[in-house]
Amino acid sequence: METGRIRNFCIIAHVDHGKSTLADRLLELTATVDMRFLKAQHLDTLELERERGITIKLVPVRMRYRDREGDEYILNLIDTPGHVDFSYEVSRSLAACEGALLVVDAAQGVEAQTVANAYLAVEQDLELLPVVNKIDLASAQPERALKELEDVIGIDTEGALLVSAKSGVGIAEVLDAVVRRVPAPEGDPEAPLQALIFDSVYDNYRGVICYVRVVNGSIRSGQQITFMANGISDQVEEVGFFTPSMRASEELGPGEVGYVIANVKTLHEARVGDTITDARRPAAKPLPGYKRVKPVVFCGFYPVEREEYPQLRDALEKLQLNDSAIDFTPETSAALGFGFRCGFLGLLHMDIAKERLQREFNVDLVATTPNVGYHVVLTSGEILEAHRPSDFPDLGKIEEIREPYIKLSMFLPTDYVGKVMQLCQDKRGVYGSMEYITPERVRLVYELPLAEFILDFHDKLKSVSRGYASLDYEHVGFRQGNLVKVDVLLNDEPVDAFSFICHQDAAYHRGQAVVRKLKELIPRQLFEVPIQAAVGKKVIVRQNIKPLRKDVLSKCYGGDITRKRKLLEKQKEGKKKMKQIGRVSIPQEAFLAFLKVSEDAEE
């Protein structure tokens, strides 16, 4: 197919504004349907994903479309993950396209992700086609939605499409608009091969499958190719496209979208954003935009049963097969034993990983409270990356601590502005701007330390705004903060599993919360146990667990002896299973309860 007849586009929308339904309709209308294969097999239908608003990603589907004049076109629909945690992946998927359908819910209007994704599309020089969806709803206000698009994002809404994906209204017009308004790809078939890997998945049978957009040159089976990021060369086993099932073909030329299978075993070899070129006639430069994603949120994963450590390790390795962004290294904790320190792109990424480990791989694990990575500037001038509290050196050696910040964009009804601003303030947010999108809706921008954000900001936001607020954020670098490391001591011994980093103003309050929680969870011992929170040598909070007062079996004659002895033996077995922190015995459940990544961990 000549490049003039190819159109590469994607659909971007805020969650639940109708992206999937619209995609389904497009596929139906172009008779590309085979519903069974619509969902990519490597992503499971997790409740979590639906809750958090990620729809299941589609494979890049090739649709054949005959327009009114009878000309045939190839329309490649490339799906994008909707969540900010994966914004790098989004940007690479966008880089494979020339146009994007910008979908807005006619009743809801412009929301945070609408904006975030639209900006990414503009950054990639994509042609934006505004689409107002759900016009069938009684509460639909298409004119208002269009006005918001113009005012908030600043795009021209001339020729915007009004559709109802649910009832099938306006879909043919969408296809038509794609053909007419999305530019055809440009590319030189004679130039050295440059193909963008905009996604890759691991398949149990076939190894890594790369989703590619060929920019220049062509790629065919049997060809020797090189992955430019790491220089690894491989032979192509197969190329093809999706309809949506896999269909092998002879070659993929410039402007085409499809897949490449090349005997790649791990995702580390075939990275998202990387460029594939010909091994014998390589391109001079890779395609722009490739970068290595860095994890920003960290936590420890520990097996509940010590013996399950190998299973946890295997599960993490398998998870990594499918998700190159997960980072993990072994670590130990005196309290929890052997485990792993894991890095993620964000909280959602972490939650999904944890969920998958437990559900798919059946590993019972405890996750420590998530934390961000800090840059610690030492008095010697050296900069240390600290991923967990124990990475921090002594107070005396620290010149400055820098923490990652994000710029938060929130869309909410005006009624909740006060509460939301208060929330941001409480989370050490710095006011950025506020604009009225409509008299009833506001866009609020704040800059916030990422550490505060991961402490249940999202849930609190939903709560104070009764669910009406939406948010999106981007990372804006590291800033100096007055941060301290708070140690928790049990019976005068520090317990690394409980220490945390926080702003010095919050140290007392959070120290109190931690100490109080521990007091509830740790059973009485034969002696008084002081629980302390300390910053450096200074104790800021102290509470005592009172000693056991009475624990005795009254009667013990003839027949009682054996029975009572067995009770004691059971008690003894229970004690053996406890973790010993010095002289203090703590049952496993207390650790799990404390370290559970849950909303109520912090007040």
Partner 1 sequence: MRRSRSVSCDVGGRGGWNASSLRNEALLRNAAAFASDAPLSVYVHIPFCVRKCPYCAFTSLVPASGGIIDAYLEALEGELARWTETAGRMFCAETLYIGGGTPSLLAPRQWERLIGILEEGLRFLPGAEVSVEANPESLTATSLRLWRNWRISRVSLGVQSFDEEELAWLRRPHSAARARDALSACLAAGFRTSVDLMFGLPFQTLHRWHRTLQELHRSGVRHLSLYQLSLEKGSVWGASPPSEPLPDGYAFYRFAQWYLRRKGYGQYEIASFAAPGEWCRHNLAYWRGGNVLGLGAAAWGFLEGIRYGNGNNLARYVAEVRKKGAVSVEERLEGRKRAGEAAVLALRTAGGVRFRSFARRHGPEEAARLVRCLEPFGERFLRREPGRIAFSPGGMRVANALWTEVLADDEDDASLEEGSLSGRSCRR
Q: Please, what is the minimum distance in Å from the beta carbon of residue 455 to partner 1?
A: 30
Q: In whole angstroms, how close is the CB of 218 to partner 1 at the nearest point?
A: 59
Output the smallest distance, CB 580 to partner 1, in A. Answer: 6
DSSP state of 270: S
Find the shortest distance in angstroms from Cβ 564 to partner 1.
8
Supply the DSSP symbol for 109.
Answer: B
Q: How far is CA 407 from the centre of its chain?
A: 16
Considering the complex, what minimum distance in angstroms separates the CB of residue 545 from partner 1? 14
Q: Supply the minimum distance, in Å, between the C-beta of residue 338 and partner 1.
A: 9
**Residue number with CB closer to partner 1 (76 or 585):** 585
Shortest reach from residue 589's CB to partner 1, in Å: 18
Nearer residue to partner 1 within complex by CB, 167 or 332: 332
Length of the chain: 603
436 vs 527 by CB, closer to partner 1: 527
Residue 450 · residue 406 · CB < 8 Å: yes
**Which residue blocks in 342-484 are alpha helix, DSSP H?**
347-359, 417-426, 450-453, 457-464
Cis peptide before 303 (omega within 30 of 0): no
**185 Cβ contact partners less than 8 Å away, ≥ 6 residues apart:** 3, 6, 8, 98, 215, 254, 255
Q: Least Å distance between CB 389 and partner 1?
A: 20
Of 337 and 536, which has the nearer Cβ to partner 1? 337
Q: How far is the CB of 307 from partner 1 (least distance, A)?
A: 11
Burial of 109 (0-12, 13-18, 19+ CB in 10 A): buried
SS3 424: helix
Amino acid at 279: A
SS (H, E, C) 502-555: EEHHHHHHHHHHHHHHHHHHCCCCCCCEEEEEEECCEEEEEEEECCCCCCCCCC
Query: What are the start-end ranges of the E strands in 118-237?
Result: 127-133, 161-162, 194-203, 207-216, 219-220, 224-227, 232-235
Least distance from partner 1 to the Cβ atom of residue 500, Å: 23
Nearer to partner 1, 155 or 334 (CB): 334
Tell me if 511 sits within 8 A of 541, measured CB to CB. yes
CB of 556 to partner 1, least distance (A): 6
Q: Which amino acid is at 442?
A: V
Which residues face 603 on adjacent strands? none
The number of C-alpha atoms within 13 Å of 402 and in the hemisphere containing its C-beta is 13
Give 332 or 362: the residue with its C-beta nearer to partner 1: 332
The answer to whether the bond into 244 is cis (omega within 30° of 0) is yes
Residue 1 or 568: which CB sits closer to partner 1?
568
537 or 550, CB closer to partner 1?
550
Q: Closer to partner 1 at the Cβ: 76 or 491?
A: 491
Comparing CB distances to partner 1, the nearer of 143 and 569 is 569
By three-state DSSP, how is residue 179 classified? Answer: helix
Nearer to partner 1, 249 or 525 (CB): 525
Sign of CA dihedral 39, 41, 47, 53: negative
User: Could you tell me the two tokens for 266?
Assistant: 């791990």
DSSP H or E run through 155: none
Closer residue to partner 1 in complex, CB, 205/557:
557
Contacts with partner 1, residue ranges (CB under 8 A): 306, 334, 337, 526, 548-559, 561-562, 565, 568-569, 571-572, 575-576, 580, 583
What does the buried/exposed string (b/e) look like for 562-575 if buried means 16 or more CB atoms within 10 Å of the residue's CB? eeeeeeeeeeeeee
Distance of closest approach, residue 310 Cβ to partner 1, in angstroms? 16
Separation of alpha carbons 410 and 417, rounded Å: 10
Are 389 and 501 in contact by the 8 Å Cβ rule? The answer is yes
Residue (294 or 546) nearer to partner 1, CB: 546
Query: Could you tell me which residues are beta bridge partners of residue 408?
Result: 446, 473
- Structure tokens belonging to residue 245: 């099932």
Minimum CB–partner distance for residue 517 and partner 1 (Å): 24
